[in-house]
Amino acid sequence: MEGRIHSFQSMGAVDGPGLRFVVFMQGCALRCPYCHNPDTWDFAGGKSYSVEEIVKKIENYRSYLKKGGVTLSGGEPLYQGAFVLSLLKALKEKGFHTALDTSCQVLDSYTDDILDHTDLVLADVKVLSDRFLPYGWSLSRAEAFLEKTKEKGVSVWFRQVVAPGLNDTEEDVKALSAFARQYPNVKKIELLPFHKLCLEKYRSLNIPFPFETVDAMEKSRVDDLSRLLKNDE
Smallest separation, CB 35 to ligand SF4 (Å): 3
Smallest separation, CB 163 to ligand SF4 (Å): 11
Is residue 65 within 8 A of residue 21, CB to CB? The reply is yes
Smallest separation, CB 232 to ligand SF4 (Å): 25
Smallest separation, CB 105 to ligand SF4 (Å): 8
Question: By CB under 6 A, what part of segment 8-37 binds ligand SF4?
Answer: 28, 30-32, 35, 37
Question: By CB under 6 A, what part of segment 166-195 binds ligand SF4?
Answer: none
Q: Kindly determine how many residues on this chain lie close enough to bind ligand SF4 according to the rule CB under 6 A.
A: 11
Tell me whether residue 97 or residue 126 sits nearer to ligand SF4 (CB atom).
126
Tell me whether residue 21 or residue 132 sits nearer to ligand SF4 (CB atom).
132
**Nearest to 94, CA basis, from 127, 132, 56:** 56
Tell me whether residue 68 or residue 77 sits nearer to ligand SF4 (CB atom).
77
Identify any residues that bridge with 7 across adjacent strands, giving them in sequence order.
24
Please state, in angstroms and as integers, the Cα–Cα distance from residue 121 to each residue in 33, 104, 118, 200, following that order.
23, 9, 7, 30
76 vs 68: CA distance, rounded Å: 21
Residues in the chain: 233
Tell me whether residue 110 or residue 137 sits nearer to ligand SF4 (CB atom).
137
- DSSP, collapsed to helix, strand or coil, labels residue 115 as helix
Smallest separation, CB 76 to ligand SF4 (Å): 5
Question: By CB under 6 A, what part of segment 92-111 binds ligand SF4?
Answer: 103
C-alpha angle with apex 175: 172 to 176, nearest 5 degrees? Answer: 85
The end-to-end CA distance of the chain, in Å, is: 37
**Nearest to 114, CA basis, from 94, 91, 134:** 91
Task: Build a one-symbol-per-residue string for 35-54: x at contacts with ligand SF4 by CB under 6 A, - elsewhere.
Answer: x-x--x--------------
Question: By CB under 6 A, what part of segment 63-82 binds ligand SF4?
Answer: 74-76
Is residue 218 within 8 A of residue 188, CB to CB? The reply is no
Binding site for ligand SF4 (CB under 6 A): 28, 30-32, 35, 37, 40, 74-76, 103
